[in-house]
């Protein structure tokens, strides 16, 4: 049997694996005793071994090793499809019979939730809900409200008004849209060996010094935010709210992008994790929009790559897992088991070694060494070499994480990935830019 590598998974969006069956022995104690309580609502936990859950998501987390560990721990099968963000959202909205669990970003929810294809999640069934970082559950960070940040902050789309609702609630309820498991503060990545100096501002993306060697990601809702950060940094324009632009603002920023493209500023536009890694590791691009694990993937090749802590701040994003409206019975039980497993700590530590943060960091800490925790979360110099989940060295002893500690990075989020009120118009204008 041909082994499906992580790289092949990311390219093909295919994942298949063997199930590990588990059994439970029935108690022989008299009915009604603590060891054999009187019958209640029947939950066929011994049948979950026969369940197969179909997941759709991006290559960021649809990874063989996560699938294999989940199957080992939970005893049922998982089938994963790694898609682009656009494809992931499209399937979630238009093909509800094609998935059981949606692994997506919070900024996508204003598009996905109105379709009615996600069923509200009962918060009471999430055992570590109280361990989730509060900017997801209460809209606060370090005790302070995060309302000053622009865009679709996860808290704004975290809750639904009821058990059958497609309407977001501005205040906490008993029903959630997604259960978060990862998030990050995004910025620009660059090759210091090819750039020759520190990159400290978003504005550098349009610097003629790097003409023909920059790239911006081709996801309209995110790429436009990066472009806005660049334009503001250079004083080319200002926005009332970068996360909810007016048509006039969209026209102006896309005109700026078209002008930069006509000048030959961009080498390429990327949609997927692997595309960004290949552009940077090959040296075709020296400065670009980037995701944290893409930076670590370049570093794992032995190539120096920096995730720049820029003076204007970070663009934040959060991702989570949600339930298809078609789930019920034993499959729904299994899906809740999977969501609880995602918060339990192993996944948080696994993804943490790529630079992501866990939604339940204290759980992830249990699976990380003290040296790893200090490096990834506390911003301390690495006491030993840091390795990624695939045993590749990312940082030598003495190195410090780009941007420093968790609180420093997330204390400087100026905007979140967003779906704007003028989303249809934005996509139209963005596609004009890409095609220009």
Same domain, 150 and 273: no
What pLDDT is attached to residue 145?
A: 64
Same domain, 260 and 193: yes
pLDDT in tens, 121-178: 999 999 999 999 998 999 888 766 666 678 999 999 999 999 999 999 999 999 999 9
CA distances from 299 to 5, 41, 62, 146, 337 (A): 19, 52, 21, 32, 35
Residue 360: strand, helix, or coil? coil
pLDDT in tens, 5-49: 333 333 333 333 333 333 333 333 333 333 443 343 344 445 778
What pLDDT is attached to residue 332?
A: 97
Same domain, 292 and 189: yes
What pLDDT is attached to residue 146?
A: 64
What pLDDT is attached to residue 148?
A: 65
Asked if 291 and 60 touch (Cβ cutoff 8 Å), the reply is: yes
- Full domain range(s) for residue 427: 185-316+384-435
pLDDT in tens, 294-353: 898 898 899 999 999 999 999 999 999 999 999 999 999 999 999 999 999 999 999 999
Same domain, 167 and 189: no
Q: How many domains does the chain have?
A: 2
The position carrying tokens 């204003």 is 110
Is residue 232, in this structure, part of any structural domain at all?
yes
Is residue 337, in this structure, part of any structural domain at all?
yes
pLDDT in tens, 259-268: 999 999 999 9
Same domain, 191 and 273: yes
Same domain, 199 and 305: yes
Is residue 405, in this structure, part of any structural domain at all?
yes
Backbone angles phi, psi at 179, to 5 degrees: -100, 115
Choose the weakest-confidence range: 194-198, 370-374, 387-391. Answer: 387-391
Is residue 157, in this structure, part of any structural domain at all?
yes
Asked if 233 and 201 touch (Cβ cutoff 8 Å), the reply is: yes
Is residue 13, in this structure, part of any structural domain at all?
no
Same domain, 86 and 111: yes
Same domain, 217 and 285: yes
Sign of dihedral through CA atoms 179, 60, 306, 267? negative
Same domain, 170 and 272: no
Same domain, 264 and 410: yes
Is residue 414, in this structure, part of any structural domain at all?
yes
Same domain, 214 and 224: yes
- Mean pLDDT, residues 98-123: 97
Is residue 79, in this structure, part of any structural domain at all?
yes
- Mean pLDDT, residues 208-232: 96
What pLDDT is attached to residue 4?
A: 35
Is residue 36, in this structure, part of any structural domain at all?
no
Same domain, 271 and 395: yes
How many CA atoms lie within 13 Å of 211's alpha carbon, on the beta-carbon side?
A: 7
CATH value at residue 396: 3.40.190.10
| 98, pLDDT greater than 80 | yes
User: Could you tell me whether strands 214-217 and 266-270 are parallel, antiparallel, or unpaired per DSSP bridges?
Assistant: parallel
């Amino acid at each position: 049997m041909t082994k499906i590598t992580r790289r092949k998974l990311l390219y093909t969006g295919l994942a298949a694996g063997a199930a590990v069956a588990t059994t439970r022995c029935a108690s022989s104690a008299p009915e009604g005793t603590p060891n054999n309580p009187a019958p209640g609502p029947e939950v066929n936990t011994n049948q979950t071994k026969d369940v197969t859950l179909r997941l759709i998501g991006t290559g960021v987390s649809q990874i063989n090793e996560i699938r294999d560990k989940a199957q080992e721990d939970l005893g049922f099968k998982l089938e994963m499809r790694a898609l682009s963000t656009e494809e992931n959202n499209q399937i979630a909205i238009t093909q509800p019979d094609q998935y059981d669990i949606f692994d997506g970003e919070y900024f996508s929810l204003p598009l996905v939730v109105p379709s009615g294809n996600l069923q509200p999640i009962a918060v009471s069934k999430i055992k570590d809900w109280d361990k989730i970082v509060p900017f997801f559950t209460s809209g606060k960070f370090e005790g302070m409200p995060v309302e000053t940040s622009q865009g679709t902050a996860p808290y704004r789309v975290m809750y639904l008004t009821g058990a059958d609702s497609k309407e977001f609630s501005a205040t906490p309820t008993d029903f959630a849209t997604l259960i978060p498991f990862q998030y990050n503060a995004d910025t620009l990545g660059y090759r210091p060996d090819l750039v020759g100096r520190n990159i400290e501002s978003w504005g550098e993306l349009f610097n003629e010094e790097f003409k023909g060697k920059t790239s911006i990601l081709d996801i309209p809702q995110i790429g436009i935010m990066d472009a806005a950060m660049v334009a503001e940094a250079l004083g080319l324009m200002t926005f009332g709210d970068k996360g909810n632009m007016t048509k006039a603002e969209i026209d102006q920023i896309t005109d700026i992008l078209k002008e930069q493209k006509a000048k030959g500023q961009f080498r390429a536009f990327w949609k997927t994790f692997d595309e960004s890694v290949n552009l940077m590791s090959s040296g075709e691009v020296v400065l670009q929009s980037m995701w944290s694990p893409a930076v670590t993937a370049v570093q794992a090749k032995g190539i120096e790559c920096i995730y720049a802590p820029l003076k204007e701040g970070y663009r934040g994003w959060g991702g989570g897992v949600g339930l298809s409206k078609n789930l019920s019975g034993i499959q729904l039980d299994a899906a809740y088991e999977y969501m609880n497993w995602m918060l339990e700590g192993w996944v948080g530590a696994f993804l943490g070694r790529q630079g992501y943060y866990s939604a339940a960091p204290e759980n992830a800490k249990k699976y990380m060494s003290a040296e790893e925790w200090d490096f990834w979360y506390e911003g301390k110099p690495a006491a030993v070499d840091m390795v990624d989940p695939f045993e590749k060295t990312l940082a030598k002893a003495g190195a410090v994480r780009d941007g420093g500690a968790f609180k420093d990075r997330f204390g400087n989020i100026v905007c979140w990935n967003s779906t704007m009120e003028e989303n249809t118009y934005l996509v139209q204008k963005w596609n004009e830019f890409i095609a220009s």
